[in-house]
Amino acid sequence: MDAPDVTDLDGRPRRDEEHAEPVTVDAGPGRGAESPARRPRRRLTVSQAGLVLAYVVVVGFFWSQRPDVFASWQTWRGILDASALPAIVAMGLTVTLIAGDFDLSFGATIGLSMAVTAVLLSTHGWSWPAAALVALACALAIGVVNGVLVTWANVNSLIATLAISSVVTGLDAKVSNQQTISTGIPESFTDLGTTRWLGLGVSLWVAIVVGAALYLLVSHTESGRYLFATGGNREAARLAGVRTRALRTVGMVACAVTAAIVGVLLCAQTASYYPNAGGGYLLPAFAAAFLGTALGGGRFGIAATAFGVLFLQTLQTGLTVLNVQPWAVSVVQGSVLAIAVIVSTSGQIRLPRLGRRRAVRA
Amino acid sequence: MTGPTTSPLEPVLEARGLRKQYGPLVAVDDVDLTVGPGEVVGLVGKNGAGKSSLIKVLTGAVQPDAGEVLLAGEPVHLRGPAEARRRGVGFVHQELNLVEQASIAENIALGGGLPRRAGLLVSWGALHQRAQTLMEAVDIGHLDPRTRVATLTPVQKRQVMIAAALWHPPTVLVLDEPTASLSEHEVVVLHGIVRRLKSRGTSVLYVSHRLDEVIGLTDRVVVMRDGAVVDSEETTRLDKGRLVAMITGSAGQDRPTHLRQDPGAEIVLDVHEVSSDRMVEPVSLQVRAGEVLGLAGLVGSGRTELLRAIFGADSRRTGEVRVGGEVVGCSPSASLRSGIALLSEDRLHGGLVTGFTINRNITFASLARFRHARWLPLPSGRRERDRSRDLSADLAVKAESVDAPVMSLSGGNQQKVLLARWLSTEPRVLLLDEPTLGIDIEAKTEIYHLLHRLAGEGFALVVVSSEFPELELLCSRALVLREGRVVAELEGADVTETALLHHCFDGAGSPA
């Protein structure tokens, strides 16, 4: 995973790059020729390096305790498979967070889209692509409603999405009659939960595709730049002609649609619908996104969030393998998150001072 | 220059050699000040002369770097506004900072601690009784102390704030621009309150831009300029003309050579009867190619609101804006497409994206110009950097690299980055709101020369500034706004600091 890349969007001071002289001198067209890449090298900050290091230490610890388990590809495939769904929705949430808003409704959206899919498949005998499309359309509508409430009606996003969460939970209960649905779901659909391409599950491939698409959107398009600007300084973005309301709505829609993707895939994986399926995704997604900020130098990023999911899932799997009690797993994960966020917000001490001195000597 | 006039009795409030520095900027420069018992002292000066900074030190909001504050002849160390209040220094902010949803009584007691019953429960009866007494002292005794503040008129809110300052009976009350947003009639109400306080022996330090009321209300006037007290005079010996001269500093200041030039003939920006919800009345103006139009006025005179309405940052209630004859839609994006750019007053709030690099701050408003291919909305980092480097070099941005974080720059260089952002949108009209606010002399001079050059290249510029010498320096024409209305238009050699000030302050004195 090319995690440090996400810091690209608005990096730290990059004093170790080639163009150390003042811009006023540097502006001549000839200069660029000396460094054809022209792309400044990045420096790792304490928190960035710290998080990667922490991951290596965690993995090393688990490995030393249970080499038999952690040397096995099966274990790692299990971690990746378990990361897929949380990663999809956490990356969608990241888009919302980048635009400066919160979304507390995606847990409910996961539940509703799962219910819609299951009911259309089992009760109405629809084909699964049609059922999935309806679920995605519902999520789109939820995202737009969230966006309208937050941007046009100026409701605080925490409150608006909390309210919508309640509405969506109600709709979920209506659609599903609050019954577990486990019959009549066609095999062609549940195969999605078991099929592997090149050794990886369908969900993981979906996560990779969604992640790549969101990464491109956020880090390489004009809209992505505007998203960051909107989250960073909304008034400045507006005065620069950015349609901040539309963009914030896009952020809300991104989160809702990824939630629906998770709902559909969850329905396929479990070959069923069961109540309260989505709630468990809410906090881990926020945790992963904020853990990712430790990697992104205090900023959200798609790849950083994916890394955050992987980190938390590795901890979970590792601790489970070591027979740690579930309560302790929660305590450890929570502590790791708190420490990481503290380090990322206060850790302005930058490692590469060392690197710089070395460079001078060389 | 007259030395500080001392009052016959021992002063209730005294400052000796007060000094406050923010980085290289000396906000309060060795200030000596006395306020005698029952004396009403006016504190006047231009925007940025140091009045607010001085008040902050006197009321304990900030700590002085040197000097001391004495209360009743005794040196005190005020650790915060609460302690200042307890020791008898009351303070009424310029801004209306009340809790709108709370009652009058709750607001009055906000800073003072609610009366308790058995040390625990709020005694509402005692609170309302106490509030009622204070409300009578400020002429709002006819209101119910349970009334929500949100339902009050501006002057009533001001009265509530004064009542709150009386909660701990002050020996000296500092009023910072209490009449700034009030109508003539309401001003009279406020003056009555001040006179009553005085008659009861309370001293008042009265900060105001309205010279009429300073002359009518105060016993003595203290004038500040560039952080220092430059004059202190019995009010009876003053008239408005004299006061304007004292505020301006008639003594010769070194003026840079004039950077004015004759505008072209073509009207680029045509603003017709534009108003917004934040403006008092519609305003029309025209700006020609190569013209620098100044908008003068005191803080709160509606200059910023006018620029925002022209740019479409606030939605317009009436009127239309044309650039080169074409009507411009009312939104920032429409304005930018038509070639209008707005450099906003507040670099942080409406300007810099603090998380971005210099490069990304520059290219951010014109990102579509840097695509890899015209049909693909993917910005090319190489093209962005090329453009940023060119503009940075052109505007002499002093930075290690365009990839440095924008917050690593000094204020002047941040301002140049923002100018570069708007120039990168290739505008025809630049609206500049306080373009030199809070930046050092050197950067100011660079910005003057840049604006002069841009005008020479045919840009139409509108400059809002509280520093009238710079309007005198740059503008071939200037409009003066007062309380939301255009009260004067000056042209050519008539655009002088003295004339601008004269029109800002109620048309007082005689322009030199």
Report DSSP letters for B421-436, one per residue. Answer: HHHHT--SEEEEESTT
The answer to whether residue B377 neighbours chain A at the CB level (below 8 Å) is yes
Strands B316-323 and B267-276: antiparallel
Contacts of B492 (CB under 8 A, 6+ apart): B260, B476, B477
User: Which uninterrupted H or E stretch holds B15?
Assistant: strand B13-22
Using alpha carbons, select from A13, A18, A192, A218 the residue that is nearest to residue A98.
A218
Domain that holds residue A65: 50-361
User: What residues are paired with B311 via a beta bridge?
Assistant: none
Q: How far is B260 from chain A (nearest CA, A)?
A: 27
User: With an 8 Å Cβ cutoff, are A240 and B377 in contact?
Assistant: no
- Chain A residues inside the 8 Å CB shell of B330: none
User: With an 8 Å Cβ cutoff, are B405 and A238 in contact?
Assistant: no
CB neighbours (10 Å) of residue B248? 22
CB neighbours (10 Å) of residue B14? 23
User: With an 8 Å Cβ cutoff, are A239 and B405 in contact?
Assistant: no
User: With an 8 Å Cβ cutoff, are A232 and B404 in contact?
Assistant: no
Q: Is the dihedral of CA B270, B273, B274, B278 positive or negative?
A: positive
User: With an 8 Å Cβ cutoff, are A23 and B392 in contact?
Assistant: yes
Chain B (301-330) residues lying within 8 Å, Cβ to Cβ, of chain A = 311, 313
CB neighbours (10 Å) of residue B285? 18
Low-confidence ranges of chain B (pLDDT < 50): 1-7, 251-255, 508-512
The answer to whether residue B368 neighbours chain A at the CB level (below 8 Å) is yes
Question: What is the predicted pLDDT for the residue at A314?
Answer: 93
CA B261 to chain centre: 29
Local structure of B274: helix, strand or coil: strand
Q: Which residue of B has its CA nearest to A235?
A: B350
Local structure of B43: helix, strand or coil: strand
State how many domains chain A has: 1
DSSP conformation class of B148: B
Q: Which residue of A has its CA nearest to B368?
A: A222
User: With an 8 Å Cβ cutoff, are A240 and B364 in contact?
Assistant: yes
Q: Hey, which bits of chain A come out as E strands?
A: 196-197, 200-201
Using alpha carbons, select from A208, A284, A259, A234 the residue that is nearest to residue A106.
A259
B349 half-sphere exposure, CB direction, 13 A CA radius: 3
Question: What is the predicted pLDDT for the residue at A260?
Answer: 96
Q: Which residue of A has its CA nearest to B347?
A: A236
Contacts of B340 (CB under 8 A, 6+ apart): B269, B310, B311, B321, B323, B328, B427, B428, B429, B431
User: Which uninterrupted H or E stretch holds A59?
Assistant: helix A46-65
User: With an 8 Å Cβ cutoff, are A239 and B408 in contact?
Assistant: no
User: Which uninterrupted H or E stretch holds A350?
Assistant: none
- Chain A residues inside the 8 Å CB shell of B348: 233
Answer yes or no: is A7 within a domain: no
Q: How far is B79 from chain A (nearest CA, A)?
A: 28
- CB–CB contacts below 8 A, A to B: 126
- Residue A146 corresponds to which tokens in the numbers above? 């969230």
- Chain A residues inside the 8 Å CB shell of B403: 11, 14, 17, 19, 40
DSSP conformation class of A185: -
The predicted complex's ipTM stands at 0.75
Q: Hey, which bits of B197-290 come out as E strands?
A: 203-207, 220-225, 228-234, 267-276, 283-288
> Distance (Å, rounded) from C-alpha A283 to C-alpha A286?
5
- Chain A residues inside the 8 Å CB shell of B333: 241-243
User: With an 8 Å Cβ cutoff, are A226 and B367 in contact?
Assistant: yes
> What would the DSSP string read from start to end of B297-308?
--TTSSHHHHHH
Contacts of B503 (CB under 8 A, 6+ apart): B296, B480, B482, B487, B488, B490
Using alpha carbons, select from B149, B152, B205 the residue that is nearest to residue B182.
B152
DSSP conformation class of B30: E
> What would the DSSP string read from start to end of A102-116?
----HHHHHHHHHHH
User: With an 8 Å Cβ cutoff, are B379 and A237 in contact?
Assistant: no
Q: How far is B403 from chain A (nearest CA, A)?
A: 7
Answer yes or no: is A67 within a domain: yes
Burial bucket for residue B31 (CB in 10 Å: 0-12, 13-18, 19+): buried
Q: Could you give the domains of chain B?
A: 1-88+170-185+199-252 (3.40.50.300), 100-168 (no CATH), 253-339+427-512 (3.40.50.300), 355-425 (no CATH)
Question: What is the predicted pLDDT for the residue at A35?
Answer: 36
Using alpha carbons, select from B90, B95, B119, B300 the residue that is nearest to residue B203.
B90
Q: What are phi and psi of B433, to 5 degrees?
A: -100, 110
Answer yes or no: is A264 within a domain: yes
Q: How far is A32 from chain B (nearest CA, A)?
A: 9
Q: What are phi and psi of B462, to 5 degrees?
A: -120, 120
Question: What is the predicted pLDDT for the residue at A210?
Answer: 97
The CATH number linked to A240 is: 1.10.3470
Answer yes or no: is A336 within a domain: yes
User: With an 8 Å Cβ cutoff, are A38 and B385 in contact?
Assistant: yes
Q: Which residue of A has its CA nearest to B409?
A: A13
User: With an 8 Å Cβ cutoff, are A236 and B349 in contact?
Assistant: yes
User: With an 8 Å Cβ cutoff, are B350 and A235 in contact?
Assistant: yes
User: With an 8 Å Cβ cutoff, are B355 and A299 in contact?
Assistant: yes
Q: Which tens digits make up the pLDDT trace of B18-49?
A: 998 876 678 888 999 999 999 999 998 876 67
Exposure b/e, B322-341, CB count within 10 A at least 16 = b:
bbbeeebebbbbbbbebbbb
Using alpha carbons, select from B36, B34, B91 the residue that is nearest to residue B68.
B34
- Chain B residues inside the 8 Å CB shell of A17: 401, 403
User: Which uninterrupted H or E stretch holds B326?
Assistant: strand B326-328
Q: What are phi and psi of B344, to 5 degrees?
A: -80, 160
CB neighbours (10 Å) of residue B129? 13
- Chain B residues inside the 8 Å CB shell of A296: none
Strands A200-201 and B172-176: unpaired
Answer yes or no: is A324 within a domain: yes
Residues of A within an 8 Å Cβ radius of B: 9-15, 17, 19-24, 26-27, 32, 38-40, 220-223, 225-226, 228-229, 232-233, 235-243, 299
- Chain A residues inside the 8 Å CB shell of B401: 14, 17, 19-20, 23, 26, 40
DSSP conformation class of B220: E
Question: What is the predicted pLDDT for the residue at B308?
Answer: 93
User: What residues are paired with B69 via a beta bridge?
Assistant: B15, B76
Look up tokens 């009345």; give the residue.
B281
The answer to whether residue B352 neighbours chain A at the CB level (below 8 Å) is yes
The answer to whether residue B372 neighbours chain A at the CB level (below 8 Å) is no
Reading chain A (362 residues) residue by residue, the pLDDT tens digits are: 333 333 333 333 333 333 333 334 333 333 333 333 344 445 555 556 777 888 899 899 999 998 888 888 889 999 999 999 999 999 999 999 999 999 999 999 999 999 999 999 988 889 999 999 999 999 999 999 999 999 999 999 999 999 999 999 999 999 998 889 988 888 888 888 888 888 888 999 999 999 999 999 999 999 999 999 999 999 999 999 999 999 999 999 999 999 999 999 999 999 999 998 888 899 889 999 988 888 777 789 999 999 999 999 999 999 999 988 888 888 988 888 888 777 766 654 333 333 333 333 32
Answer yes or no: is A76 within a domain: yes
User: With an 8 Å Cβ cutoff, are A240 and B389 in contact?
Assistant: no
> Distance (Å, rounded) from C-alpha B329 to C-alpha B310?
10
Helices (H), B48-123: 51-58, 81-86, 104-109
Q: How far is A357 from chain B (nearest CA, A)?
A: 17
Burial bucket for residue B410 (CB in 10 Å: 0-12, 13-18, 19+): middle
Q: What are phi and psi of B308, to 5 degrees?
A: -65, -35
User: What residues are paired with B376 via a beta bridge?
Assistant: B373
Q: What angle do CA B406, A21, B423 make, to 5 degrees?
A: 45
DSSP conformation class of B103: B
